[in-house]
Structure 1
Amino acid sequence: MKMKPFVMLMLLCFSLSFQSCWFLNPEDDDIILTQVEDYYEPVIMQRSNFENTTSLQSTPEVIVNSGKIYVKDNYIFVNERNKGFHIINNTDPSNPQNIAFLNVLGSSDLTIKGESIYVNNATDLLALTLDPQNGTMEITKRVPNAFPQLRSPFGAYFYGIQENEIIVDWTINENN
Structure 2
Amino acid sequence: MKNKLAFLAVVSVLLLHSCIHFGGVDDDFIMTSNYEPIIIKRTAFESTTMLENTPRAIENSGKIYVKGNYIFINEVNEGFHLINNSDPSNPQNIAFIKVLGSSDLSIKEDIIYANNATDLIAFTIDESSETLTITKRLEHVFPQIWSPEGEYYYALEDDDIIVNWELIN
Would you say same fold, with TM above 0.5? Answer: yes
Amino acid at match of 1:55: M
Aligned: 1:55 with 2:50: yes
| Distance in 2 (alpha carbons) for counterparts of 1:89 and 1:147 | 30
Give SS of 2:33's match.
helix
2:108 maps to which of 84, 106, 113: 113
Asked whether the 8 Å contact 1:37–1:156 carries over to 2, the reply is no
- Mind listing any 5+ residue stretches in structure 1 that lack a counterpart? 1-34
| Distance in 2 (alpha carbons) for counterparts of 1:55 and 1:114 | 20
Aligned: 1:82 with 2:77: yes
Q: Structure 2 length as normaliser, TM-score?
A: 0.79
Aligned length: 141
Q: Structure 1 length as normaliser, TM-score?
A: 0.76
Identity of aligned residues (%): 58
- Mind listing any 5+ residue stretches in structure 2 that lack a counterpart? 1-29
State the Cα RMSD in Å. 1.7
Match of 1:17 in 2: none
> Which structure carries more helix by proportion?
1
Taking the TM superposition and a 5 Å limit, the aligned residue runs for 1:66-145 are 66-132=61-127, 134-145=129-140
C-alpha displacement at 1:164, in angstroms? 0.3
Aligned: 1:169 with 2:143: no
Match of 1:16 in 2: none
Taking the TM superposition and a 5 Å limit, the aligned residue runs for 1:5-84 are 38-84=33-79
Match of 1:152 in 2: 147
